[in-house]
Amino acid sequence: MITMEDWALIRRLAADGVPKAAIARRLGISRTTVINAIASQGPPKYERRPGPTSFTPYEARVRELLKDTPDMPATVLAERVGWTGSIRWFRDNVKRLRVDHRPIDPADRLTWTAGDVAQCDLWFPPAKILLEDGSRTLLPVLVMTCGYSRFTVGRMLPTRKTPDLLLGTWALLSELGRVPRRLIWDNEPGIGRGKLTEPVAVFAGTLATKVVLLPPRDPESKGIVERRNRFFETSFMPGRHFASPADFNAQFTEWLTRANARTVRTTKARPVDLLAADTEAMLPLPPAVLHLGWRNHVRLGRDYYVRVDTSDYSVDPRAIGARVDVAADLEVVRVRHGGRLVAEHPRRWARGMTVTDPTHVATAAALRHDYQHPAPRPSEDAGMVRDLSDYDRAFGLGEAGQP
């Protein structure tokens, strides 16, 4: 069999009018080879004749197992059929056969109308963020991409729990200024699996929007935002360092401003240019959403601390024994007693922290001192003892009781 270079040279010489016999003598090959090369429709290609291999005796049994269980691992198949040869060779053959037995799941091309949908997802940047206690951890970033305009907004959150997911969603919708008619999620536990969690259902009803939970194995319906996540890792993350979650959000917001001004290959337009048409078709944003975030109504114990997520925050100890209302958003923790503010702290994103207001400690010390050193009680006769001369004068008597 001739090489690719010889085949190309034969055809070039023949095109120049060189006789076939001369070509054969020049290259040291037979005249028949020259004739075949000139008559061929394509370059030479090595094709191995199909024949039995060491895998052939096992192929029928492997196909039977794949017919019932298309995703059965190759190692399990090797054990079931009694294979003792190279596992790599066996795995390569199983991969070739698996295509014939795996069910086909075609994906339609989706189109998005203005104002209809925003795709939501959690992205975990591959960088640990420095927290208040000096520890570093991976934190989720809530990303929302509008289907029609491809305009993207995002924000880092302290947790992936329902209260923080709803707080983050409200913050991003406030940034957009409008509400898409549908918010698409996959099965994120804080949003719902098969069924929306109650807080999410209440939130969606307040916004008059619909939260859609995608069925399993349906990545195409949320492919826009997931492609954005990969884009963040290759274009935003390289070479960046973050001093805190607030620093991350500041850098990410600034970068998204520039990213939304780039032309998207699929739409041939810039997201920032399509945003106005997209938001115009969306629903109006309500002025506020009640009961959003972390909420609790508890009786304040003697240690005068309340818990939000995994951290404890001090409260004015004069409220000990009373029921207090605890509310927290992404930034602040507030505690009220009878409508009066009895504690306010910056929310800590580190886990297991104890946040104490020195004023609360001083108040607790004073109350403890008063409890341990009560003031003496007045005697029952206090204020009832009078000088006897007062009675003498009252009855008109002189010295020593003489008139």
Confidence at residue 390, expressed as pLDDT on a 0 to 100 scale: 65
Q: What is the residue-wise DSSP string for 146-213? A: ETTT--EEEEE-S-SSHHHHHHHHHHHHHHHTEE-SEEEE-S-TTTBSSSB-HHHHHHHHHHT-EEEE
Kindly tell me if the per-residue pLDDT of 383 is higher than 60.
no
Mean pLDDT, the chain, whole residue set: 89
96-97-98-103 Cα dihedral, nearest 10 degrees: 120
The answer to whether the beta carbons of residues 167 and 293 sit under 8 Å apart is: yes
Over the stretch 280-304, which tens digit does the pLDDT of each residue have? 999 999 988 878 999 999 999 999 9
Tell the CATH topology of 117-284. Nucleotidyltransferase; domain 5 (3.30.420)
Report how far apart, in Å, the C-alpha atoms of 362 and of each of 36, 132, 307, 398 are.
101, 24, 21, 60
Over the stretch 178-233, which tens digit does the pLDDT of each residue have? 999 999 998 899 999 889 999 999 999 999 999 999 887 666 677 888 899 999 99
Q: How big is the chain by its Cα radius of gyration, in Å?
A: 40
Confidence at residue 111, expressed as pLDDT on a 0 to 100 scale: 80
CA 146 to chain centre: 17
Number of Cβ atoms within 10 Å of the Cβ of 181? 16
The answer to whether the beta carbons of residues 262 and 270 sit under 8 Å apart is: yes
Residue 235 CB partners (closer than 8 Å, separation 6+): 259
Confidence at residue 46, expressed as pLDDT on a 0 to 100 scale: 67
Query: Taking the model in full, what pTM does it have?
Result: 0.71
Q: Which H or E run contains 222?
A: none
Confidence at residue 106, expressed as pLDDT on a 0 to 100 scale: 62
Over the stretch 161-180, which tens digit does the pLDDT of each residue have? 999 999 999 999 999 999 99
Cα–Cα nearest to 355, from 306, 391, 283: 306
Q: How many CA atoms lie within 13 A of 327 on its CB side?
A: 11
The answer to whether the beta carbons of residues 147 and 221 sit under 8 Å apart is: no
Tell me the one-letter amino acid at 339.
Answer: G
**Residue 155 and residue 149: Cα distance in Å, rounded?**
19
